[in-house]
Amino acid sequence: MHTSKVLSARDFEFWRREGNGLVRVPFDSFCPDYHESDRTGVVSPFLEDGILHTALAILGLTTAFYDAWRARTDDFFIYPQHFAILDISAEGVNSGSGRLRLDRDRLGWPWGNLDVWPDSQWVPSDGSVYGALKRAFDLHINRLFWPESFVPGEGENRLPEYAFKIMRTRLKAVFYFKAGEPNIEIRGNTNAKKVADQSVWRISQLEGLSAEHLSMAVDEEVSGAGHCCVERYRRVDPEQFLNDVGGCFESGG
């Protein structure tokens, strides 16, 4: 719960692509129909992916969650329902440097810094698209962050048709990260970047993980402004996402 003491809504800005430019928008445009009881999932096929590409968004959502509680009382101890869905097998957690044999506290260390905590929020999956979808379904996820290139392959297992229908109703939005044509972004100031960078540093300290490629995105065009740390997404509606992964449902989507 430490970010409730160091971050506030003014540490974030939200921008939406309109035509050839970007327009600053309120938080509600970034996360329509937000509620503090929303369940947010980050699918991270490599352990570091979610940290490098969604840390600002998770912090922004976490701050909105704490703001809702601060409006009620100064005396609370609670964490948002945010989940990291990770590829974990008997050989370890998957990363860009291969599988790492880490104990549970160690693999969750970078996520805990983003208030994705306690360890019940670090959820194992089998590394397949089906496995990640199954976890998102079982966890009743409402808002999903998903790598755009993570698509079904040949021979994927399939969820029943009712899972497609339930997820179409339950999901509020899906954010593709590492997207080719992003349509929305979040920017963080130095306060937000400091917290996100701490998680990147924690990732870099994990045994066996190369730190050479680990860095947060800084937009040079806005580097002189107060909010220069940027994450970009392609936000799609739930039905489009479910059709994109339709090969993982018995109906084919």
Residue 210 belongs to a domain: yes
Q: Residue 226's pLDDT is what?
A: 77
Q: Residue 125's pLDDT is what?
A: 98
| CA 199, chain centre distance (Å) | 13
Q: Residue 2's pLDDT is what?
A: 85
CATH code (residue 70): 3.40.50
Domain count, the chain: 1
Residue 168 belongs to a domain: yes
The pairs formed by 215-218 with CB atoms below 8 angstroms and a separation of 24 or more are 215/52, 216/52, 216/55, 216/56
Residue 216 belongs to a domain: yes
Residue 126 belongs to a domain: yes
Residue 93 belongs to a domain: yes
Residue 223 belongs to a domain: yes
Is pTM, for the whole model, over 0.85?
yes
Mean pLDDT on 94-98: 93
Residue 35 belongs to a domain: yes
Residue 253 belongs to a domain: no
Residue 113 CB-density burial (10 A; 0-12 exposed, 13-18 middle, 19+ buried): buried
Q: Which domain holds residue 175?
A: 2-248
Q: Residue 73's pLDDT is what?
A: 94
Mean pLDDT on 106-123: 97
